[in-house]
């Protein structure tokens, strides 16, 4: 199987809509097929990685934990837009997994460099 570069662009907050969870599921499927997967988080998408989700009160699955399994799936390229973090009063210390932060412009160049871009 030809290996393609897949980039998942995540721009939505978790729980309010189903985009974040759907993205994560497709990420795992693409990774199970041993594709070259990377994830970008910008705008409200950075909230997906905010640590300390406690979803008992809203009776939904706390899928924050699943980001921790990405390493087992050999997905280790997680890119976060630093401007989006700053606008939300967040720093990398607030995030649940190790990421690489960069400017929006640098992120845009990375997205440009992909074979397949999936938008969530």
Partner 1 sequence: MLNIVNKSPLDRGSLDSCLQAADGGAVLLIEDGVYGATRGSVGEAKLKAAAGKFKLYALAPDAEARGIADRMTDGVTMVDYGGFVDLVAEYKTCQSWL
Partner 2 sequence: MAIDVNGKSYETDEEGYLVNLADWNEDVGAVLAQSEGVAMTEQHWEVVNFLRDYYNEFQIAPAVRVLTKAIGKKLGPEKGNSQYLYELFPYGPAKQACKIAGLPKPTGCI
Chain residues that interact with partner 2, rule: CB under 8 A: 25, 28-29, 31-34, 61-63, 65-66, 68-69, 72-73
Nearer residue to partner 1 within complex by CB, 56 or 105 = 56
> Is 17 in contact with 120 (CB distance < 8 Å)?
no
Instruction: Provide, rounded to whole angstroms, the least separation between the CB of residue 51 and partner 2.
Output: 15
Binding mask 32-61 for partner 1 (x = CB under 8 A): -----------xx--x--xxxxxxxxx-x-
Residues of this chain that bind partner 1 (CB under 8 A): 12-17, 43-44, 47, 50-58, 60, 62, 64, 87-90
């Amino acid at each position: 199987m030809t290996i393609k570069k897949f980039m998942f662009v995540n721009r939505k907050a978790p729980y309010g809509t189903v985009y974040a969870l759907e993205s994560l599921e497709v990420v795992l499927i693409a990774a199970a097929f041993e594709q070259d997967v990377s994830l970008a988080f910008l705008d409200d998408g950075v909230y997906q990685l905010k640590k300390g989700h406690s979803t008992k009160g809203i009776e939904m699955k706390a899928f924050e934990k699943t980001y921790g399994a990405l390493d087992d799936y050999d997905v280790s390229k997680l890119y976060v837009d630093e401007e989006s973090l700053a606008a939300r009063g967040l720093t990398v210390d607030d995030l649940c997994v190790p990421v690489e932060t960069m400017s929006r412009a640098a992120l845009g160049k990375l997205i440009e460099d992909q074979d397949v871009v999936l938008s969530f």
